[in-house]
Structure 1
Amino acid sequence: MATEEGIVIRTSGTSAWIRTQRAAACEHCQSKDSCKTMGGGNDMEVEAANRVEARTGDRVVVSFATASLIKATFLIYMFPILCLMAGAGIGVRLSQTVFPSVDQSVLSAVIGFGAFVLAVVFVRIRGNRMAKEDQYKPVIIRVLKNRPSQSQ
């Protein structure tokens, strides 16, 4: 399990939004400039399941299931590329058997990019469903430091 520390910035029901600092691993990531979890600067906001009933201002430890992270990463990065390659291969095969009068390169490109677009749409739909599943959400596993007491 990957863990990260952060501060609860707001809560709603069984969820909390955590502000964390960009991890050192983010610096080497190819997608660091386009990652949607990042705002500007070094801060990131992430929604996490709040099973320990952390409150706004609490410093918490957030855990990410590594297996789920690998599945999501495969779906986002590898699946569309594999579909592109499979579509191109199907296009080559079809140009040899079903459509011999069509240029092999054109047909493989059209079917390959069509498969890629369908894969991206599938990833978008599946990603939205996965985002609602608990196994793909980070979880607050403990509160490190409660917010300072406010005198009334």
Structure 2
Amino acid sequence: MVEESGLIVDVDDDKVWVETIRTSACDSCKAQKGCGHGLLNKASSGQRFTLDVQRNGIPAKVGDIALVGIPEDSILKASLIGYLLPIVLLILFSGTAKWLWGELPSIVCGLLGLGLGFFLVRFLGNSGRFGQEPQLLAVNPDAES
């Protein structure tokens, strides 16, 4: 389970809104000056991110510190779908069009397959079918900020 703590900023009957600050392990890495990921992290570090989480019967109030988690297997599934689906559809559409019609339709169909892949990734991500929803694991009421 990948866990992150954050401040509860709003509470509803069945949900809480948790605000976290985006951080990265890049600060402790020795290769951060030559790494593109490190540069992107410096450009976006310190940004606040708010997400809504199901309460699951855990009592919480505004100002509490919440521990939120996402299972590793759902992150792996989302990564595979997000990276592989568009590429597979690009190759499939492009190869089929090349076999049937030639070079120019192959390029056009490859771009259409890539676009369809991105659309499907967005659709599947928004549907919540892969357990990517964060879960409220615990609340620490004594750690108010």
Task: Check whether TM > 0.5.
Answer: yes
Corresponding residue number in structure 1 for 2:53:
48
Q: Deviations over 1:61-87 (max 9, x none)?
A: 111111111111222222112211221
2:111 aligns with one of 96, 103, 113: 113
Is residue 88 of structure 1 aligned with residue 128 of structure 2?
A: no
Amino acid at match of 1:3: E
Amino acid at match of 2:109: I
Amino acid at match of 1:21: I
Q: Secondary structure at the match of 1:54?
A: coil
Q: Deviations over 1:92-129 (max 9, x none)?
A: 2113xxxxxxxx32111111111122222222222221
Q: Secondary structure at the match of 1:62?
A: strand
- Compare CA radii of gyration and give the structure with the larger one: 1
Query: TM (normalized to structure 1)?
Result: 0.73
- For these two proteins, the number of residue pairs brought into alignment is 133
Change (3 A) 1:19 1:134: farther
Percent identity, please.
Answer: 25
Instruction: Give 1:1-152 correspondences, 5 Å limit.
Output: 1-25=1-25, 28=37, 41-51=46-56, 52-95=58-101, 104-130=102-128, 135-146=131-142
**Distance in 2 separating the partners of 1:119 and 1:53:** 41
Amino acid at match of 2:55: N
Q: Secondary structure at the match of 2:53?
A: strand
Query: TM (normalized to structure 2)?
Result: 0.76
Change (3 A) 1:142 1:71: same
Q: Structure 1: which 5+ runs fail to align?
A: 96-103
Q: Structure 2: which 5+ runs fail to align?
A: 28-36
**Distance in 2 separating the partners of 1:91 and 1:134:** 32
